[in-house]
Structure 1
Amino acid sequence: MSVAFTCWPEALARRYRDAGYWRGQPLTDILDAHDPREADRDAIVCAERRFSYDQLIRLSRRLAASLVAAGLRPGQTVLVQMPNCAEFYLLFFALLRCGAVPVNALFSHNRRELLAFAEQIAPALLVLTDDHPAMRGRQGTALVDELRRYASGEARLLHFGDRALPVEKVLTDFRWEDGEPLDESECLNGFSPNPPDEVAFFQLSGGSTGLPKLIPRTHDDYGYSVRASAELCRLNVDTVFLCALPAPHNYSLSSPGTLGILHAGGVVVMARDPGPATCFELIDRHAVTMAALVPPALSLWLEAADSVRPPSLGSLSLLQVGGARLSPALAEQVPTRLGCRLQQVFGMAEGLVNYTRLDDDRWYVENTQGRPLSPADEIRVRDAEGRDVPPGEVGTLWARGPYTFRGYYRAEAHNAVAFDVEGFYCSGDLVRRTDSGYLVVVGREKDQINRGGEKIDALEIEDLLLGHPAIRQAALVAMPDEVLGERSCAFLVADARLRAVDVRRFLRREGVADFKLPDRVEFIDDLPRTAVGKIDKAALRRRICSAAAC
């Protein structure tokens, strides 16, 4: 049984295969294709634990066998939420091996997002952890019960707990308890990754039109993106990568991310957070050569760099920054204050990824968000009427190619407006293209707030706010912030007794992720309107900018 999704047209699929972009290989080859003579090399360092390539292969196979023995079948879906730890990758490869299709929720997602994912995929398996606040105590039990209402059949729960235990014990607890040792070969007999042109797993959209939508990624398209990214970034067995951003995020998973490092035979060092206090010690301790950040984390690194002993960051040679537009003022500080090369990354879980190249002129590195990864990437920059605009003019970015998807999962209405008749995907980003094909991101066309790389859809939060009995009108707008780029401000017309703390408590009870909570709440008598009666958000942005002395 395979997961239904929107395929590439056969003519394009044939073109990508003939060009060698699609090789018909499963993503498990990222591990399995390595030379057995090098199996003892470190692959992942997680706190005090080290996993060799041999262990990743062996333990992911063992876990796959356990899941199959427990009844998991090819094509069934799995909802996963785990923190940054080595077990995330063991589970990822295990699910691929037995043909299951996971949705990897971010650890910042809460009840509202998890229920939306479960409703869409009807999971046969839930993988959750008591590390997450929503999973503690009675509320955790209640959440599992809610998730199971959307499940296919009697959804099993795989509960991930104490990851500080030795690796063999963790995986014993992590696997199904069936009482008897498993014959892995017998359990996995007849089970294999899904066909390369079928769905391997789902990525998550940035949620620019509400809750995140599901993005089907195939072995063929994702594998190409990983390989090409690893080659462009010149990864090799000596690369030591710091994974400080959320492990499931497309950026830290495949651009080139952990999968790119494992493909190249390097080492991944796990960090529990991207803060300098955590990361600087890991860079020094493990001689990290490469890291990936979002702009707010970079700001914190730059602030902390002056107090660091000079040798501490000496091994770091390449720092990637992506997830949100990086200002030239911050970009130019990276080589001098951190002592490493900067690479800008502008991509999306839907596919297209742009990079500045390692030998690019300094101006391109500091002032652009790079150019497309693949020679087969097709880019259009269009005005509001759908006409192509010349280089230098601002327009909306449209793309198609061998690793850019062809449709969100079970979202026909949205797909009708997100794609044109030729299959080009509208990213919603406003960009300017240089004569040499580099992109400069200037904003978003949708009503969205980019809070340090985390996308907040204003309409989603406004709808929830209007569900409060004391709130009559609501508008959520962005306000500039030096560290995060943007923060959110909620303008409310409400009863006089309502306080900002009441608003945040209400949204938390609704299961909203913390990053979506309004950073500031302003109570006003009436919302300004445009000539046609719409809420004048431009006026509200000017007002909050003035009040905050922007």
Structure 2
Amino acid sequence: MTTRANVTTYRTPEAEQRYRDLGLWDDVTLVERVRAHAATRPDAIAIIDSADDRRITYAQLWHDASTFASFLMARGIEPGDGVSVQLPNSYETAVVDLGVLAAGAVLNPLLPNYRAHELRHVLAVSHAKAYVTPHTYRGFDHLAMARDLCASLPEVHTHVVVAPAFETRGEFASESFELREVLASTPRNDAALPALDASAVSELIFTSGTEAAPKAIMHSEQTANVNVLGTLEAMELTEHDVVWMPSPIGHSTGLNCGLRVALHAGLPIVLQDRWDPERAAELIERERCTYTLAATTFLNDLVRTLHASPREVSSMRAFGCGGAPVPPDLVVAAAAVGVTVLRIYGSTEGLIITWNRAGSPLDKRANTDGVAMPDVEIEIRDDTDRVVGRGVEGEIHVRGPEVCVGFFDDPVRMANVFTPDGWLRSGDLGVIDAEGYLTIVGRKKEIIIRGGMNIAPREIEDLLCEMPAVRAAAVVGLPDERLGELVCACVVTDEPLELADIVAFLRNRDLATYKLPQALRVVDSIPMTASGKLRKAVLRDAIVAEMQGSR
């Protein structure tokens, strides 16, 4: 491992130099690209915010983003400082994200449905200096939560709130800044913006592992942008393409495979926040959207809607889909309604690893997760770390210029996940066929993937074990046709417990809504190995068999 600017990376200096010599890493940043688009194509549309159908040009986007960067700098934010952004898919989020990067700060994107339980850990670990939230979002008071968090975390000295236009400054306490007023009152000074280092960490993204505490994954402009260039090449995107993004840009998929792809290439991006498949079909048809990357849930809902109410959506020639199993029949059904699905495999650590191509046969598109992205190396290894041949199942190992810098301040995880020669141990099981197509067949890790969102069972288990009535708990994923998996809590208890009881308890512990169990099983005991590890597969298989037997 090597250390640079207080950041430890598993890559050797020789490996880093090799990527530079090959031209895979350069000095270009997303900020530089947007600034250039604003100068050369100022009237080109950058953002289409579907919430109110605003159409914002690259000139306006850069003006607002650079103004926000000037504000952050005036507040004492320096290059390398963390800024946490918890906003929905909207134009304002693009402004804030780009402004954070323009100030040289590290962008920490967060899902709007995170609550105090997750956020207190994230803000503390990331050493965030500023925190950006909605005022209220989907009925939840983010302003009140942010005030409580900032009061308990003195490092977070600046809170910015994004409020609807009808709200006035008088509604906010003096310790919060309202984004509209920030943009209207801050002197903009592009000349004072710092020179950016494309090799420095620019994103810090938290994602759930099998452990209770989420991983803090670091990406640089170099790792993130080589993924963009690979996407543009693999998907054959041109200046005529239009990106549609329903996946949250508060996480890696929406940010790095949606917003970053569009803004780097100078394309328009249609941002959809509230999921509504009928609205999605309307947007694809109206804007002639051509590219997206979204979880199986989005695809399933969209195909059902188009089957019931057909629209002209044949422009959608690259619907990247992954994050949860993609049924082959769904790929075929999507083609029948005009949507070309290209299954993918990726992760926050490795970004896009494999992807079907437009020229891939339908059989491969329906049944595999694609071939390696440009300049990405993939190996399948057995339990002895030996590379196996084609057609043999094993753990997926990945190496390439798009793989993350590493995990922030987490040397134990770094050592467990990365090999000494720079391979990422994915924890996922796969097989590569004779033509080089990868198929995911399972997971070594226990992650539950619900609607494309990773959920760490142990985090929920630890909270459940705080309930006085619970003597033991295990959380497993159950198959679900729409969401991929549902969260099922299995508890040992001496008292009557209902699902509503544990949901209420977990809500009171500020657990994010999407992590709340949808099923409860009261069991006599939790199966364990001789060494004391939970045998969740046994528990899950028994529940699935029970479900199938009751049909």
Cα gap change, 1:424/1:514 in structure 2, threshold over 3 Å: closer, same or farther? same
Q: Does 1:261 align with 2:274?
A: no
Shift, 1:38, TM fit: 2.1
Q: Distance in 1 between matches of 2:160 and 2:38?
A: 32
The match for 1:485 is 484
Matched position secondary structure for 1:25 = coil
Could you say which residue in structure 2 is the equivalent of 1:8? 11
Instruction: Please give the alpha-carbon distance, in whole angstroms, between the structure 1 residues aligned to 2:548 and 2:126.
Output: 46
Give the structure 2 partner of residue 281 of structure 1: 282
Q: Secondary structure at the match of 1:306?
A: helix
Q: What is the correspondence of 1:7-406 to structure 2 with a 5 Å cutoff?
A: 8-34=11-37, 36-46=39-49, 47-132=52-137, 136=141, 140-141=143-144, 143-152=146-155, 155-162=157-164, 173-174=178-179, 177=182, 182-185=187-190, 188-189=191-192, 191-255=193-257, 257-311=258-312, 313-336=313-336, 338-353=337-352, 354-375=354-375, 377-406=376-405
1:54 is aligned with what amino acid? A
Using the alignment, how far apart are the partners of 1:227 and 1:454 within structure 2?
A: 25
Partner of 1:454: 453
SS in 1 for 2:396: strand
Partner Cα separation in structure 2 for residue 473 and residue 538 of structure 1: 17
Q: Tell me which amino acid in the other structure corresponds to 1:33.
A: A
**Structure 1 position 21, deviation (Å):** 0.5
- Structure 2 CA distance, aligned partners of 1:27 and 1:88? 15
Q: What secondary structure does 1:51 align onto?
A: strand
Pairwise mapping of residues 455-474 of structure 1 onto structure 2 (< 5 A)? 455-474=454-473
For the 8 Å contact 1:2–1:194, the answer to whether it is kept is no
Change (3 A) 1:181 1:433: closer
**1:134: Cα distance to partner?**
8.7
Report the Cα distance in structure 2 between the residues aligned to 1:345 and 1:274, rounded to whole angstroms.
21
SS of structure 1 residue aligned to 2:390: coil
Helix, strand or coil for the counterpart of 1:145? helix
User: What is the 5 A alignment of 1:453-532?
Assistant: 453-530=452-529
Q: Give a deviation string over 1:233-281, Cα, whole Å, max 9, x none.
A: 12222212211110133222233x2222222222111112343122112
Distance 2:194 2:496 in 1: 60
Q: Deviations over 1:148-173 (max 9, x none)?
A: 43342x611111111689xxxxxx94
Change in Cα spacing, 1:35 to 1:487, as seen in structure 2 (3 Å) is closer
* Contact 1:406–1:425 (CA under 8 A) maintained in structure 2: no
Is the 8 Å Cα contact of residues 201 and 405 (structure 2) preserved in structure 1?
A: no
| Mapped contact 1:334–1:341 kept (Cα < 8 A) | yes
Distance in 1 separating the partners of 2:132 and 2:146: 13
Structure 1 pair 513/183, CA: closer, same or farther in 2 (3 Å)?
A: closer
**CA 1:196–1:333 in 2, change beyond 3 Å: closer, same or farther?**
same
Q: TM-score, with normalisation over the residues of structure 2?
A: 0.91
> Partner amino acid for 1:455?
N
Q: Is the 8 A contact 2:210 2:458 kept in 1?
A: no
Please state how far the C-alpha of 1:346 moved relative to its aligned partner. Answer: 1.2
Displacement of 1:549 in angstroms is 1.6
| Equivalent pair of 1:197/1:218 in contact (CA under 8 Å) | yes
Gap change, CA 1:325 and 1:30, over 3 Å in 2: farther
CA distance, structure 2, for counterparts of residue 480 and residue 363 of structure 1? 24
Residue pair 1:194, 1:200 contacting (<8 A) in 2 also: no
Between 505-514 and 540-549, the greater mean CA deviation after superposition: 540-549
> CA 1:389–1:142 in 2, change beyond 3 Å: closer, same or farther?
same
In 2 relative to 1, CA 66–38 (structure 1 residues): closer, same or farther, beyond 3 Å?
Answer: same
Question: 1:4: Cα distance to partner?
Answer: 2.5
Is the Cα–Cα contact under 8 Å of residues 397 and 427 in structure 1 kept in the other structure?
A: yes
Give the Cα–Cα distance (whole angstroms) in 2 for the partners of residues 88 and 142 of structure 1: 19
Contact 2:281 2:311 (C-alpha < 8 Å) held by counterparts = no
Structure 1 SS opposite 2:37: coil
Residue 270 of structure 2 aligns to a residue whose secondary structure is strand
Q: Deviations over 1:85-113 (max 9, x none)?
A: 01111111111111111210112322222
* RMSD of aligned alpha carbons: 2.5
Moved over 6 A (4+): none
Cα displacement string for residues 56-84 of structure 1 (whole angstroms, at most 9, x for unaligned residues): 11111111112222322222111110011
2: CA distance, partners of 1:361 / 1:66: 51
SS across alignment from 1:279: helix
2:120 alignment partner, SS class = helix
* Structure 1: distance between partners of 2:133 and 2:525: 43
Where does the alignment leave 5 or more consecutive residues of structure 2 unmatched? Answer: 168-176
Deviation at 1:319, TM superposition (A): 1.8
What amino acid sits opposite 1:307 in the alignment? A
Identity of aligned residues (%): 29
1:168 matched residue in structure 2: none
Pairwise CA distance, 1:323: 1.7
Which digits, 9 at most, give the CA deviation of each residue in 1:203-226, with x for residues without a partner? 233434333211111111211111
**Pairwise CA distance, 1:488:** 1.9
Give the 3 Å change call, closer, same or farther, for CA 41–495 of structure 1 in structure 2: same
SS in 1 for 2:222: helix
- Residues 133 and 360 of structure 1: is their aligned pair in 2 closer, same or farther, counting only changes over 3 Å? closer
Alpha-carbon distance between aligned partners in 2 of 1:99 and 1:536, rounded to the nearest angstrom? 46
Q: Quick one: which amino acid aligns to residue 79 of structure 1?
A: S
Amino acid at match of 1:368: T
Name the counterpart of 2:173: none
- Which is worse superposed, 439-448 or 404-413? 404-413
CA distance in 2, matches of 1:148, 1:4: 28
Question: 3-state DSSP class of the match of 1:162?
Answer: coil
Matched residues in 2 for 1:421 and 1:411: separation?
16
Which residue identity does 2:72 align to in structure 1?
L
Amino acid at match of 1:326: V
Using the alignment, how far apart are the partners of 1:427 and 1:316 within structure 2?
30
1:177–1:341 Cα change, 3 Å: closer
What is the CA–CA distance in structure 1 between the aligned matches of 2:318 and 2:421, rounded to whole Å? 37
Is the CA contact 1:237–1:267 (under 8 Å) kept in the aligned structure 2? Answer: no
- Aligned in 2, Cα 1:413/1:368: closer, same or farther, shift over 3 Å? same
Aligned residues: 535
Tell me the secondary structure at the aligned position of residue 136 of structure 2: coil
Cα drift, residue 147 of structure 1: 4.0
In structure 1, what is the Cα distance between the partners aligned to 2:45 and 2:431? 42
Aligned residue type for 2:64: L
Structure 1 residue 378, shift from structure 2 partner: 2.2
Structure 1 residue aligned with 2:172: none
